[in-house]
Amino acid sequence: MENENVNTVKYPAAVDLKFAKVATTLGLTKRTLFIKMVEYFYRTKKDPADTNDELLKNTMVKSHKAYTSFIKTQEQLLLIPMKESMDKMISNQKDIVKYFNEQVAGHNKAILKNQQEQLIKLLETEKLIQRNFEGKEKLKAIFLQILNHYISTREELGSFKTREKEELAENTRIQIKKL
């Protein structure tokens, strides 16, 4: 530095130890640190005796108020309408689920019941067809038996007994009608 008028400041030795420690920590000489401290307090207009730093507190309070008002505005503009929309959406979804449970699930139960009834009817029809088939086979067997009896009896009668042949044919017709 140039030769300037240098003033002296007297302070206790305990403060000098702290001052030297701060200067060493910051990598500055004591004189440079002192000059920077004076510039800092001069520019910021802070009171070094005020350890609570009221200016900083006031700035923080103003910032806090600004943030709070911003959040309240956002709450009014975005959050409350968004919550109302979500509530409506949830209500609509509940209505959809209720409708599904009442209508679709009920309809599915009705369809299942109808399918079960159709299955029962189908099984009954199958049994009836099976019985008719078995009855038809028995009927064929009896008819075949009557026909064979008719043929064999006719053969035994010969060709000249017309009246007995007529009785045999009539008797065979009666037996077939009884089937």
Asked whether residue 12 is assigned to any structural domain, the reply reads: yes
Asked whether residue 148 is assigned to any structural domain, the reply reads: yes
Phi first, then psi, for residue 7 (nearest 5°) are -105, 160
pLDDT tens string 49-101: 776 667 677 778 888 888 898 888 888 888 888 999 999 999 999 999 888 88
Which range of residues forms the domain containing residue 153?
132-178
- Identify the band that residue 125 occupies on the pLDDT scale cut at 50, 70 and 90: very high
Q: Where are the alpha helices (DSSP H) in 13-104?
A: 13-26, 30-44, 54-74, 80-99
How many domains does one find in the chain?
2
Asked whether residue 136 is assigned to any structural domain, the reply reads: yes
pTM: 0.34
Asked whether residue 95 is assigned to any structural domain, the reply reads: no
Rounded to the nearest integer, the mean pLDDT of the chain is 84
Higher confidence at residue 148 or residue 80? 80
